[in-house]
Amino acid sequence: MSSLLMKPKIPAFTVSQLSEAMEVIQERSKELEVPLEVTPALDPKKLEGLKLSLSGDHQLINAGLAVSLCKCWLQRTGNWEKLTKNDDLEAADLPHAFRRGLASAHISGRAQIIHDASSNSNATEGSRGDLIFYLDGAHSPESVEACANWFSSSIKENENSSVSNFKLDKMNGVPTNGHFQREKEVGSCKISKQILLFNCMDLRDPQILLPRLANTCASSGTYFSKALFVPSMSAYNKVTSGASAIPTDISKKDLSWQFNLQRIWEKIVQGKELDSSSEKGFNIDNAKTLSHEFIHQDASRRNTTTDNYIGSSAVMPSLPLAIKWLRDCVKENPSIRLQVLVTGSLHLVGDVLKVLRR
């Protein structure tokens, strides 16, 4: 918590901080005679079999802080005894109502997973790929690292679950109808590709955010096949509910910031500067017709026509265009599963939710 938010003699709560930050908080609490409590992370065992609904180890820290704050408020308002009167002594620290709330709490755009149904429309069974969005509005070095850890663990859980379910069906011989079994087999053989959909506001430092994101994912064995850099819709115009039409004025957008992000990314993953000619020769019409084969292209291979290497990223002039492109990719590739991490900005995450109509 910020020491500026402390009020004289009013209880305050915080979690473990860096030593220099904790010294400031403790000094300020003494000046204002504030009872200060450093709350520990929530012990998962106290949930008694339930699971914290918000993903990520850091959410146990947030949950511990929330429990302490709520308990203090209930005690000061005389409602703590009413809440716990039907709980046993062992549950006194974490009442049933608290456990139920922690297991059902939801924050849109924070560690949120959406299976895109639109990409499956007008496609026959077994003739489509999968498009899954992993959304987290992380925009600081610490939150980006937590986001990367969550994304890596989530896609591993997804892969392990798919394999386990397929093996169980095979072992039990269920179902026996050939069509469904073939669909399971096709699904189990899908090639998963991790895609980054990124933008951050210009007051952030992408020289810190992008390396932290890439390196944290890589340490868990997660590598992005491609990265797409897009402008946030809400930073330029009002976003209406369900707005999914491609804007007609995208040719007027200033994409210099997105090209800057792309140059940083290419330096991280390829170890070389992106040829500036790609920005100078950028054409909106070319971006609209970006080949779906780009998903499969090896970034280390050179383009024999231009003698430039094929980048591992692309700048898209609008978010709806980027999502349409991703949807078309999986419609045309039944053997592919695109796992798209959307991060870097709460503006971007909110816009994606609007386009996906969530």
pLDDT tens figures, 98-132: 999 999 988 889 999 999 987 655 555 555 679 99
In the numeric block, the tokens 């109509």 are attached to 357
Of 82-86, 89-93, 241-245, 309-313, where does the model show the most confidence? Answer: 82-86
What is the arithmetic mean of pLDDT over 33-37? 94
- Give the pLDDT score at 120: 56
Q: How far apart are CA 288 and CA 316, in angstroms?
A: 8
pLDDT tens figures, 298-356: 655 544 444 444 578 999 999 999 999 999 999 988 889 999 999 999 999 999 999 99
Q: pLDDT band at 174, cuts 50/70/90?
A: very low
Distance between start and end Cα atoms, the chain:
31
Higher pLDDT, residue 202 or 249 = 202
Tokens for 143, please give them.
């939150």
Check pLDDT > 50 for residue 37.
yes
Average pLDDT of the residues of the chain: 80
Q: How far apart are CA 329 and CA 294, in angstroms?
A: 10
- Give the pLDDT score at 157: 83
Query: What percent of the chain is modeled with pLDDT above 70?
Result: 73
pLDDT tens figures, 219-254: 999 999 999 999 988 744 455 545 555 555 555 678
- Give the pLDDT score at 348: 96
Check pLDDT > 70 for residue 187.
no
- Sign of torsion over alpha carbons 298, 326, 263, 209: negative
- Sign of torsion over alpha carbons 315, 260, 205, 193: positive
Higher pLDDT, residue 351 or 357 = 351
- Sign of torsion over alpha carbons 320, 133, 347, 260: negative
Give the residue from 251, 233, 215 showing the smallest Cα distance to 352.
233
With a CB cutoff of 8 Å and minimum separation 6, the contacts of 231 are 199, 253, 255, 257, 258, 317, 318, 319
- Give the pLDDT score at 188: 54
Check pLDDT > 90 for residue 280.
no
Tokens for 242, please give them.
């369900």
Q: How far apart are CA 64 and CA 41, in angstroms?
A: 5
- 147, 134 contact by CB (below 8 A): no
Check pLDDT > 80 for residue 45.
yes
Give the residue from 195, 133, 139, 77 showing the smallest Cα distance to 346.
139
β-pair type (112-115, 130-135): antiparallel
Give the H or E element holding residue 184.
helix 178-188
* CA distances in angstroms from 324 to 6, 123, 269, 355, listed in the order given: 48, 15, 25, 10
How far from the centroid of its chain's Cα atoms is residue 161's Cα? 20
Q: How far apart are CA 133 and CA 136, in angstroms?
A: 10
What is the arithmetic mean of pLDDT over 71-93? 82
pTM for the predicted model, two decimal places: 0.76
User: What domains can you pick out in the chain, each with its CATH number?
Assistant: 12-104 (no CATH), 112-162+190-234+254-273+282-299+309-356 (3.90.190.20)
Give the H or E element holding residue 44.
none
What is the arithmetic mean of pLDDT over 176-188? 39
Q: pLDDT band at 184, cuts 50/70/90?
A: very low
Q: pLDDT band at 158, cuts 50/70/90?
A: confident
Q: How far apart are CA 330 and CA 117, in angstroms?
A: 11
With a CB cutoff of 8 Å and minimum separation 6, the contacts of 187 are 162, 166
